[in-house]
Structure 1
Amino acid sequence: MADGRDNHAESRAESQLKSRAESWDGDGSASVSRLAWIASGLGLLLFLGSVGVLGYEGVTRGNGAPAISAELEEVVPAGSRWLAHIRVGNDGGTTGAKVQVEGQLMAGAEALETSVAEFDYVPAGSHQRGGLFFDRDPRAHELRLRVLGYVEP
């Protein structure tokens, strides 16, 4: 019985050595499968593409001030109050920090109610979302949005 197990273990070890030997080329270097070459090529393309995009952004993006805008997305009830969802965008060349947006409910020239929201960061070329709470329904009045200011980070 012991001889049968030893023979089986020896034949398995020989087959492993043989398969390892077949994976080496005649000059002593490991052969690389076609799939490995394709995967390496794709990885190189992804890397070079990432470097290219970052380089392009670094060269073309200006160093100008943030160009921050605010727009109303929708108004929804929020308990006994109303929530105006807003979207703040920065089309400028640098990030704006502590961006303050004011919303005023207007009845003609009179401001009925004012709400302010602050956004920690609005990076260049991005958008952030937030909300303004009001006691009156903003859909029944004119909602005037205005960016009050920002800080350079």
Structure 2
Amino acid sequence: MSARGKAPWPERLAGLLGLIMLVAVLGILLHQALLRPDTPPGIRLEAGTAEALGPGLGYHLPVTAQNLGNQTAASLRVQGEIRREGQVVETSLLEFDYVPDRSQRRGGLFFREDPRQGELVLRPLGYADP
């Protein structure tokens, strides 16, 4: 402190900025806790482009899981099916460990059959609360 008992202006400015940031963070947390609806995980699944892995190795299908809800989904299970003429040809499963609210995660499914040769159906099977 200076001789008059006041802190130098840079120190006062830093303290004021810290106070403003603290109030802003507390306001955001309070808003989310009180005003944001507590909706369950809303999972949107998107398939990428399937790739052949090589002779006899099958196919890899990238999958993106997007959580549009306000709760986290842990152990999210995803099922992918290849259908031809209404019949299920092959099924593959994928599990995402953790998909936080308003975020996305990427993974992949493996198939022996080519997912591009038929109808691909992706669906979430279930999740656990973390």
Q: TM-score range by the shorter chain?
A: 0.7 to 0.9
The reply on whether 1:110 has 2:87 as its aligned counterpart is yes
TM-score, L = length of structure 2: 0.81
Distance 1:47 1:135, change over 3 A: same
Distance 1:24 1:42, change over 3 A: closer
1:138 CA displacement? 1.8
Q: Deviations over 1:74-110 (max 9, x none)?
A: 3334343221111112222322222110001121201
Instruction: Name stretches of at least 5 consecutive residues in structure 1 with no aligned partner.
Output: 1-22
Within the candidate set 63, 68, 80, 1:86 is matched to 63
Q: What is the RMSD computed on CA atoms of the aligned residues? A: 2.1
Does the aligned pair in 2 maintain the 1:106–1:141 contact within 8 Å?
yes
Q: Percent identity?
A: 34
Higher relative contact order (CA 8 A, sep 6+): 2
| Structure with the higher fraction of residues in strand conformation | 2
Distance 1:44 1:105, change over 3 A: same
How many residue pairs were aligned?
128
Distance in structure 1 (CA, Å) of the matches to 2:95 and 2:39: 22
1:31 CA displacement? 4.1
After the TM superposition, which residues 1-153 of structure 1 pair with which residues of structure 2 at under 5 Å, given as runs?
A: 24-25=2-3, 27=4, 29=5, 31-32=7-8, 34-79=9-54, 80-153=57-130
Larger Rg, first or second structure (1 or 2): 1
Instruction: Name stretches of at least 5 consecutive residues in structure 2 with no aligned partner.
Output: none
